[in-house]
Amino acid sequence: MSLTGLGGIVYLIIHLVGNTVVYEGPTTFNGYAGSLHAVPFLPLLEAALALLFAVHIALGVILTYQNWTARPIEYEMLANHGGKTAGVHHDDLHGPDDPGLHGLSRLVHAGRARRADAGVAYRVQSDLSNSVYACCYAAD
């Protein structure tokens, strides 16, 4: 699957580089397109490209099936947390004094709750004007 993906990336790079000829004007671009259509084995290349993508998709489906059959029992999910795994919900390990992002995020949300009477625009503006709070929004 990695080789077919690499082949797709190589095709994409060649295609993008070839299309940069459009910036040299319509005459140059039409000449480039004409030279591509003059290649006698162009239909063979197009068929090989289609086969490359088909093999890539087939290998992806096979790999996904193998992964599903390798572990027929699904991972245990917490029903009360929207199907998220238990590792995601250990907020009890993080307090407001925690220097990590979870603690900073709690500080941000606690500050927003204290300013609940303020308008939404004021709260967003004041929170995002502080770079630490802005980073917490991005991480949350």
* pLDDT surpassing 60 at residue 138: no
Half-sphere exposure of 13 toward its Cβ, with a 13 Å CA cutoff?
6
The answer to whether position 109 is within a domain reads yes
- Could you tell me if 117 and 64 lie in one domain? no
The answer to whether position 100 is within a domain reads yes
The answer to whether position 113 is within a domain reads yes
Of 19-23, 80-84, 121-125, 133-137, where does the model show the most confidence? 19-23
Provide the pLDDT for residue 122: 60
User: Which carries the bigger pLDDT value, residue 87 or residue 70?
Assistant: 70
How many domains does the chain divide into? 2
77 confidence band (pLDDT: 50, 70, 90):
low
- Could you tell me if 11 and 64 lie in one domain? yes
User: Which carries the bigger pLDDT value, residue 71 or residue 5?
Assistant: 5
Which of these three, 12, 40, 70, is where a domain ends?
70
Provide the pLDDT for residue 74: 76
Pair 90, 84: CB distance under 8 Å: no
| Domain residue limits at 115 | 92-139
- Type of residue numbered 23: Y
The answer to whether position 35 is within a domain reads yes
Q: What is the pLDDT of residues 17-52, one digit of tens each?
A: 988 988 888 899 899 889 988 999 999 999 999 999
Max distance between CA atoms of the chain, in angstroms, equals 73
Of 121, 1, 110, residue with least CA distance to 59: 1
* pLDDT surpassing 90 at residue 71: no
Q: What is the pLDDT of residues 2-19, one digit of tens each?
A: 899 999 999 999 999 988
- Could you tell me if 54 and 10 lie in one domain? yes
Supply φ then ψ for residue 103, to 5 degrees.
-65, -40
Rounded to whole angstroms, the Cα distance separating 44 from 51 reads 10
The answer to whether position 82 is within a domain reads no
Provide the pLDDT for residue 73: 80
- Could you tell me if 65 and 103 lie in one domain? no
The answer to whether position 127 is within a domain reads yes
- Could you tell me if 59 and 108 lie in one domain? no
The answer to whether position 86 is within a domain reads no
The answer to whether position 118 is within a domain reads yes
- Could you tell me if 56 and 9 lie in one domain? yes
End-to-end CA distance of the chain: 34
- Could you tell me if 31 and 65 lie in one domain? yes
Percentage of the residues of the chain whose pLDDT score is greater than 70: 54
